[in-house]
Structure formats: structure tokens, C-alpha cells
Amino acid sequence: MIEFRNITKTFNAVTVIEGLNLIVERGEFCVLIGPSGSGKSTILRMINRLIEHSAGEIRFAGEPIRSFAPEVLRRRIGYAIQSVGLFPHWTVEANIATVPRLLGWDAARIEARIAELMALLGLDAARFRTAYPHQLSGGQQQRVGVARALAADPDVLLMDEPFGALDPITRDSLQAEMRRIHAETGKTIVFVTHDMDEALRLASRVVILDKGRIVQSATPRELLHAPANDFVREFLGKDDYGLKLLSVETAGAHMRREDSGAVAEAVREQDSLRLALSHMVALKTDRLGVEDSTGRRVGLLLLADIVT
């Protein structure tokens, strides 16, 4: 879907990206992560030509991005940023309709799309449709920002630390929404963050960057089990490394297919082992039931199975 071929970027004779090669496949949730100054935002903004690359070629849907007019390219790529950037003088619905209007959709199609997106992002249309951004909480604003980025059904969604300014609880729920939206829509998403937990939680692939170079590109599991070098190990953290390992494993994959009728409390199949462990500690127990998404018991999870 997106391909970087030997990309270099220099700002005022300072090279910030050097010889970058990266392919983001269709449907991937690709998270770029690195310390500040690692070039992650620059890479993201080169995709929609908000920043022009200095050398090499970037391809979008098989075509070099410079074969598109910048506006045409950008209208095919959703864009959500940390500061949200809602237009304060437009209502929520007008904000969401920005790109469809630029593309000249008819009114009925725009109406239907706004309703669909507000439902997708869990925004109460009756309350918020005609509200102005300043009447919304930070979390609600970012929901509108994501809805706006998705409005014209873009092939690719670019997100630059979209949840970085939110409180932990709101961030948690928006991360869950993004996982669900990614599963439901199958969009290709390129997501920038500096929060490793967020990367491990969301990514189908994590790309770790340092000083404009890719240090490691791997699935969250591969990354945790085989960090490429000390920089990656350091970035993964020492104190809660074990918990991070648990966070990429699901209860479903580690349970025993045994009857758990005798155990009162349960977690879901797709819940992480980290969550299961937390429940066990809180409940002072060494076993939990496991249920599927419909609430039916499918197995039993023991503390010993988590640790081994």
C-alpha cells in the first residue's frame, strides 16, 4: 500500500532520515515508535506530502506520490493528529464532512456518512451533531477527529500521536475503539507514538526508529521475544518487561479446554494474560474461567499456565 524506497530527508543540510526502506502492506496496523527526534513524525508526514522527501521514492497504491497533486493525494489519506485540529467555527457534523465536501459528495450521501461515523466512534448524534468543538471534552474531540479522518473512506489512515494528550482512561477506551475499527474496516493504518504499551496493544507491526533509521521492524510478539539489540531492550523497559510479554498473549491461547463451572470469575478469550493476571492478584485466586464473546464458558486459565 505504501512503499518507501531508499528515502532520505534533509532539513537545512541536516539529514534526519537516511536510506529508509519500508513497505506497509494493505490492512496492516503499522506503529512507528522511537524517542523524540527519531524521525517518526517526519516519516508519517512525508506520506501525504506535508513534508517533501529529499531523495528516493515513496509509492502509494503502486504509484509514486509525486504523480498525484498533493490535495488529491491527501483527500485519499485520512489524517488525525495529537492536537486534533478541529475547526472551532464549524459544528461537529461540518467538521466530519470536511473531506466529503471537498470531494463534492451529494448532501444525502454526506448525511448518511456522518450518521454512520458518529455511531462507529460512539458519539451520540442527537447530542453532538450540531455542537461546536469547544463544547466537547478532549476525548470526544479526538473521536470527532478520528471520524473526520475516516470520513471519505480513505485507503490509508495516518495518525500522529492521536491519543498522546488524553488522560489514561480516555486513551484506553480510544485505543480499544481503534482496534475494533481496524478489525471492522480493515484499513491500512500508520500510527506514530512514543508509548511502547500503546504500540504493543495496537500494532500488527511495530517499527522502532532511532536517529532516522529503522532499528527493528517486527510483530509485537517477535519484538518482545527477540529484541534486535540493547536499544530495543532499553526501549521495551526492564521493570515491566514481563508484563509486556503478557500483554501480547491472549487468554484463549493459554487456557485449558476444561470445564470451569466451579470458578465464579472469568475473563474473555481475547483478553490479554496481563489483564488475567491482574484479575487473579486482585481476586486472590490462581484460576479464572474463560468465556467467548457471547459469554459462553470455553475453558479454564491457571496461574501456572500464565507463568510458563
Partner 1 sequence: MAIHNRPLCLLALLLLVGALALPFLSHAPNRLISGQPVPLWTLGSGAWLVLLPGLALLAGPFLPQRRRTVGLLALAALLLLVGLVHAAALGAELLAQDAGRAARTSFGAGFWVMALAAVLALADLVARAGPGPVLRLVIGLAAALPILAMVLSGHLDQLSILKEYANRADQFQAALLRHAVIVLAALLPTLAFGVPLGVLAHRRRRLGASILSGLNLVQTVPSIAIFGLLIAPLSALATLVPAARALGISGIGLAPAVIALTLYSLLPIVRNTAAGLAQVPASAIDAARGMGMTRRQVFWKVEAPLALPVFLSGLRITVVQAIGLAAVAALIGAGGLGAIMFQGLFSNALDLILLGALPIIAFAALADALFKAAVDLSKRGSA
Q: Which of 53, 113, 148, 244 binds partner 1 (CB under 8 A)?
A: 148
C-beta atoms surrounding 196 within 10 Å: 20
Provide φ and ψ at 290, rounded to 5°. -125, 130
| Nearest distance in Å: CB 132, partner 1 | 5
| Contact range with partner 1 by CB under 8 A, out of 21-29, 72-80, 110-118, 202-210 | 72-80
* Binding status of residue 261 toward partner 1 by CB under 8 A: no
Q: What is the dihedral of CA 127, 133, 138, 142, to 10 degrees?
A: 90
* Binding status of residue 89 toward partner 1 by CB under 8 A: yes
* Binding status of residue 187 toward partner 1 by CB under 8 A: no
Q: Which DSSP state fits 120?
A: H
Q: What sign does the CA torsion over 57, 81, 238, 276 have?
A: negative
Q: Which of 73, 110, 117, 246 binds partner 1 (CB under 8 A)?
A: 73
* Binding status of residue 150 toward partner 1 by CB under 8 A: no
| Backbone conformation region of residue 256, classed left if phi is above 0, alpha if psi is from -120 to 50, else beta | beta
* Binding status of residue 106 toward partner 1 by CB under 8 A: no
| Nearest distance in Å: CB 198, partner 1 | 20
DSSP codes of every residue in 246-267: HHTSBHHHH-B-S--TT---EE
And the C-alpha cell for 97?
464532512
* Binding status of residue 303 toward partner 1 by CB under 8 A: no
* Binding status of residue 53 toward partner 1 by CB under 8 A: no
| Nearest distance in Å: CB 79, partner 1 | 4
* Binding status of residue 168 toward partner 1 by CB under 8 A: no
* Binding status of residue 81 toward partner 1 by CB under 8 A: yes
Site for partner 1 in 109-138 (CB under 8 A): 132, 134
3-class secondary structure, 288: strand
The full length of the chain comes to: 308
Beta carbon nearer to partner 1, 133 or 299? 133
| Nearest distance in Å: CB 228, partner 1 | 32
* Binding status of residue 105 toward partner 1 by CB under 8 A: no
Beta carbon nearer to partner 1, 60 or 79? 79
CA distance 207 to 230: 16
Beta carbon nearer to partner 1, 96 or 300? 96
| Contact range with partner 1 by CB under 8 A, out of 14-22, 80-88, 169-177, 215-223 | 80-88
Q: Which amino acid, one-letter code, is at 181?
A: I
CA distance 59 to 92: 33
CA distance 229 to 142: 35
CA distance 230 to 208: 12
C-beta atoms surrounding 62 within 10 Å: 7
Beta carbon nearer to partner 1, 89 or 257? 89
Query: By the criterion CB under 8 A, which residues form the site for partner 1?
Result: 48, 50, 70-75, 79, 81, 83-91, 98-99, 102, 132, 134, 145, 148-149, 158
